[in-house]
Amino acid sequence: MNSELHVLKPATPVTSGTANIDFRAIKERQQATWASGDFAVIGTTLQIVGESLAEAVDIRAGEQVLDVAAGNGNATLAAARRFAHVTSTDYVPHLLEKAALRAKAEGLDIRFQVADAEALPFANGTFDVLLSTFGSMFTPDHGKSARELLRVVRSGGRIGLANWTPEGFLGDLFRVIAAYAPPPPGIPSPMLWGTEPHIVELFGGAAADIRCERRYFNFRYRSPAHWIEVFRSFYGPTHKVYAALDADRQATLTADISALLERLNVGGAYSLVIPGEYLEVVVTKQ
């Protein structure tokens, strides 16, 4: 794993550069995608990422923590387990309901609130720490989202992000999916959030420090067929693309994903282990 420390000079500001793009329509489509299937089934397997991120940002007991695009609450639970005061947000209500059930099972006192990562309903400087695991990266307007994350964190506070990289497994998977369901034109790839230069571009103008470290999450399944069964049923992007295809195209997509899984599998002939690279980011606000 490579670790990099950036001494920051802001690059050219990120703008959508797309005055004619209907961001509202795109967001509605994205919301429908993530509400389809049942991401919580996938999300719970990623809990270790939330724990690692909570350690990376050095959450302290009593701090005010916001989890943005929290899904079913991995980083939320990790922060609450460290006795922080946690507000957990997402724009898909039923995912927050799943997170609330997890919190109740552990006896954790967490505030849950439906909110859009690009328009957070909180005052400037409300939080000591902000977290987002594989969440904010999927907002269509990167610059707007980054400005909101920075806005609600106090001076000297920290922003912790976990973002899939374009070179990793999820980058490969989304390129396969894009051949069957192209993304909206003009919208930057969410995988850019998994690159150090883009992070500096988004946050550098308001950051005292940015630390980026490439890490790996291992997807562990019985076989390629098992992975496809789970992700086809429960993971919004794959669930939606399968639903939009006829039987022949579904079979071709399955063959393409199977080939990718078999190429990346390090688990041997009788199991599936796919290392998924992600970028762990810690931004300290000026």
pLDDT at position 57 over 70: yes
Give the type of residue at 91. Answer: Y
Q: Going by DSSP bridges, is the β-strand pair 272-285/153-164 parallel, antiparallel, or unpaired?
A: antiparallel
240-251 per-position pLDDT tens digit? 999 999 999 999
Phi, psi of 185 (to 5 degrees): -65, 140
Distances, alpha carbon 86 to alpha carbons 50, 68, 99, 137, 164, in Å: 13, 11, 12, 21, 24
Closest by Cα among 230, 218, 219, 223 to 258: 223
Closest by Cα among 284, 35, 10, 36 to 143: 10
Q: What integer pLDDT is reported at residue 35 of this predicted model?
A: 76
For 3-219+277-285, the fitting CATH number among 3.40.50.150, 1.10.3720.10, 3.40.50.300, 3.10.20.30 is 3.40.50.150
pLDDT at position 13 over 70: no
Q: What integer pLDDT is reported at residue 226 of this predicted model?
A: 98
Q: What integer pLDDT is reported at residue 19 of this predicted model?
A: 54
Q: What integer pLDDT is reported at residue 9 of this predicted model?
A: 36
Q: Report the percentage of the chain scoring pLDDT > 70.
A: 93
Half-sphere exposure of 144 (CA within 13 A, CB side): 15
Over range 9-25, report the average pLDDT: 53
Residue 103 CB coordination number (10 Å): 20
User: What does pTM read for this prediction?
Assistant: 0.90
Residue 1: pLDDT band (50, 70, 90) is very low
